[in-house]
Amino acid sequence: MSTPTSLTITTANERHRPQLEQLWTMFRHEMSAFTGALPDERGRFRQERLDAGLAAPGWSVHLFHLGPHPVGFAVLRGLDEEEHVISSFFIAHGARRARIGRAAVTELTAAYPGRWAVAYQDRNEVAAKFWRRVATELDQSCTFEHHVVPGQPELPADSWARFRVR
């Protein structure tokens, strides 16, 4: 698959935090339709995964741009483990349907060959369709399973796609 010509993927650091926090708010707002999560008293959503991505060993955050426009991000974890995880993934609505997400997943997972996993909510039909399609394209023997969200039994079970990238 070819990467859209104006897509750039940058490994983010603290100087990217303002852009990432804006995109994170959009991501968490969108996810709140499926999780029921509310912002805190300051109007902010939890962002522990974003913070870990910028600072914790075995984690990373990648910022996606189309030309000068920040259009998405991925938070990866377990990069120092046998199975790597796409912990958070977001593409702004205006950049969807242009193969940006597919190109980003392909490029990021190729940088860390091996086993990969990603969780998503089946109720988020767009995400479910996306992850089933991308996982199958990357690995015809990928698997899909459901797991209860640890510590949050009131939430619907997460769907997990697991695939291998060589």
Residue pLDDT, tens place only, 55-79? 999 999 999 999 999 999 999 999 9
Name the residue with higher pLDDT: 12 or 149. Answer: 12
Widest Cα–Cα separation across the chain: 45
Confidence of residue 1 (pLDDT cuts 50, 70, 90): very low
**What is the pLDDT confidence band of residue 34, given thresholds at 50, 70 and 90?**
confident
Condensed to tens digits (0 to 9), the pLDDT of residues 71-100 reads 999 999 999 999 999 999 999 999 998 899
The pLDDT confidence band at residue 5, using thresholds 50, 70 and 90, is low
The string of pLDDT tens digits covering residues 19-28 is 999 999 999 9
What is the DSSP secondary-structure string of 19-54? HHHHHHHHHHHHHHHHH-----TTS----HHHHHHH
Give, to the nearest 10 degrees, the angle between helix 17-35 and helix 48-55: 140
Question: Do residues 158 and 121 touch, judged by C-beta distance below 8 A?
Answer: yes
Which whole-number Å values give the CA distances from 92 to 66, 97, 162, in the listed order?
Answer: 11, 10, 24
CA dist., res. 76 & res. 85, Å (int):
6
How many angstroms separate the CA atoms of 113 and 132, rounded? 19
Encoded tokens for 86? 């796409």
Look at residue 144 in the predicted model and tell me its pLDDT: 97
* Position with higher pLDDT, 57 vs 150: 57
pTM above 0.85, yes or no: yes
pLDDT band of residue 6 (cuts 50, 70, 90) is confident
